[in-house]
């Protein structure tokens, strides 16, 4: 899964974590997920779980700053895993 993205400060975009390969390897499914959105970015809505994908929409940010969002997944089998995504804000 790619984990580095670029966004204009005026854009509202969604970023997705694809857990399908990992879930297949552990023979499990997502029970719940949370995404930690750092100060400076705004979570437009709660994270959405759709099968093996978790998507978080964000807006805002300061030009030339990089923000780390972390998705934490809990599986029906009780496993917990976390993965970061980095969003760099750049004027277009």
- At 78 the pLDDT is 98
Tell me the two tokens of residue 53: 């994908």
The mean predicted confidence, pLDDT, of the chain is 96
Structural domain boundaries in the chain: 4-89
Identify the helix (H) or strand (E) that includes residue 24. helix 20-26
CATH code for the structural domain at 4-89: 2.60.40.10
Burial of 27 (0-12, 13-18, 19+ CB in 10 A): exposed
In this predicted structure, the answer to whether residue 1 has a pLDDT above a threshold of 60 is no
- Say which residue, 23 or 3, is predicted with more confidence: 23
Task: Identify the DSSP state of 44.
Answer: S
């Amino acid at each position: 899964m790619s984990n580095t993205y670029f966004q204009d400060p005026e854009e509202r975009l969604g970023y997705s974590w694809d857990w399908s390969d990992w879930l297949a390897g552990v023979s499990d499914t997502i029970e719940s997920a949370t995404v930690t959105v750092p100060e400076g970015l705004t979570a437009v809505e709660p994270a959405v779980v759709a099968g093996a994908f978790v998507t978080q929409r964000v807006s805002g940010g300061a030009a030339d700053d990089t923000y780390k969002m972390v998705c934490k997944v809990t599986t029906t089998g009780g496993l917990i895993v976390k993965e970061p995504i980095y969003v760099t804000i750049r004027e277009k």
